[in-house]
Amino acid sequence: GFGIGSLLKETGLVTLDSGFTNTASCTSAVTYIDGDAGVLRYRGYPIEQLAEKSTFVETSYLLIYGHLPSAAELSAFTERIQRHTLLHEDLKRFFDGFPRDAHPMPVLSSAVSALSTFYPNSLNPFDEEQVELSTIRLLAKLPTIAAYAHRKSLGQPLLYPDNRLGLVENFTRLAFGNPAEDYEIDPVMVKALDQLLVLHADHEQNCSTSTVRLVGSGQANLFASVSAGIHALSGPLHGGANSAVLDMLEAIRNSDDDVDTFMTKVKNKEKGVRLMGFGHRVYKNYDPRAAIVKKTADQILSGLGKRDELLDIAMRLEEIALHDDYFVERKLYPNVDFYTGLIYKAMGFPTKMFTVLFALGRLPGWIAQWREMINDPATKIGRPRQVYIGEGARDYTEIGAR
């Protein structure tokens, strides 16, 4: 095996590494991050180039199959995804069962979990043909599910996908279209959303991806593993941060506090107040994704005609943080989600949907990592050790004697 693990095994010692700050759980050829230099590459390609030149569907192909597709490979892949966007009518009925104001994240993970019941042949993780089908089904159906979760929360009717449209076009139509009239695709919105999905597409062994791998290491199928990943993403320290940022900006705007007062609360760690959208386990330098998002946020907001006072608050917070010892010493910079919420809001998505959009973006990464894990002969079931700190052995006391 790999060095220290086998050494420790022989000596009977275990390492205690809470939060896995120094422990690798796998080898991977998917994504490279140099957190000190602020570098992110998918399959070797810099995120800046992919964000500028690629598309979400092409990037998904790259992550999953390891190379940029030829024109023929890309059109076959695109067409295959377009053919699988429909949800089974019985799955569609699930959306009636959830409460009207259901949060779309648990709706998303529940529906993905349910895919295993509609495709029982998907259960064997070593059946390559089925894994391929599950891959396509997930890529095609997650946007439909996400849009339906959104419509459901508004009490609006569910549209059928239009398979002549590309993935992001289809998604915006399903989310915002009206069955009584033609939906006019907004190319500015589609392009911006596509780029945001590319930026979120993978990030090596983050909390949700590690969850996907861990669940999959027990040989659970792709749907079960991805459903678990969606749950892991939902927390405010992970994917939930994008909606937490917007809640924070609105709270600042609506309160009597100015930006400086809020920052003082953060630095005093008042009731665990954090500057949401700041800090990262791996980046100790500007998150390269945040740099791209920041550059386009301004442009997109004005493109959509929605210059926002919340953007001014965000920029002011960043400005203070960049020159404040508390943040400088701890190397806290904006992460990808500091500015994304403002863009999602300008597009018309409610705050609750932001983390769902993150999930849509992260999906190809989860799939790529799950497939890498299942095909890696070195994979073992994930089973961390512990350091026991409980009671020593003691005898059972009968209930009357306690």
212 touching ligand ACO, by CB under 6 A: no
Of how many residues is the chain composed? 402
**In Å, how far from its chain's centre is CA 314?**
22
Q: How far is the CB of 269 from ligand ACO (least distance, A)?
A: 6
281 touching ligand ACO, by CB under 6 A: yes
36 touching ligand ACO, by CB under 6 A: no
Which is nearer to ligand ACO, 129 or 325 (by Cβ)? 325
Residue 35 contacts residue 280 (beta carbons within 8 Å): yes
Residue 108 contacts residue 228 (beta carbons within 8 Å): no
The amino acid occupying position 273 is V
x-or-dash string of contact with ligand ACO, 88-107, rule CB under 6 A: --------------------
Residue 188 contacts residue 300 (beta carbons within 8 Å): yes
**Number of Cβ within a 10 Å radius of residue 82:** 19
**Number of Cβ within a 10 Å radius of residue 402:** 5
Residue for token pair 């390492």? 15
Catalytic residue among 280, 298, 312, 324: 280
Tell me the three state secondary structure of residue 329: helix
Residue nearest to ligand ACO (CB): 279
Q: How far is the CB of 262 from ligand ACO (least distance, A)?
A: 11
Q: Give the DSSP letter of residue 21.
A: S
321 touching ligand ACO, by CB under 6 A: no
Output Rg (C-alpha) for the chain, integer angstroms: 22
In angstroms, rounded to a whole number, what is the distance separating the alpha carbons of residues 94 and 81? 22
CA distances from 53 to 49, 195, 335 (A): 6, 9, 22
Catalytic-residue membership of 280:
yes
Q: How far is the CB of 355 from ligand ACO (least distance, A)?
A: 10
Using CB under 6 A, which of 337, 347, 365, 370 touches ligand ACO?
337
Give how many residues touch ligand ACO by CB under 6 A.
19
Using CB under 6 A, which of 142, 222, 241, 263 touches ligand ACO?
241
278 touching ligand ACO, by CB under 6 A: yes
Using CB under 6 A, which of 279, 288, 341, 364 touches ligand ACO?
279
Catalytic-residue membership of 67:
no
Which is nearer to ligand ACO, 189 or 196 (by Cβ)? 196
Binding segment for ligand ACO (CB under 6 A), chosen from 60-68, 75-83, 94-102, 232-240, is 232-240
231 touching ligand ACO, by CB under 6 A: no
Residues 6+ apart with CB under 8 A from 186: 172
Q: What residues are labeled active site?
A: 280, 337
Instruction: Please give the residue ranges that form the binding site for ligand ACO (CB under 6 A).
Output: 19, 237-239, 241, 266, 274-281, 330, 332, 335-337
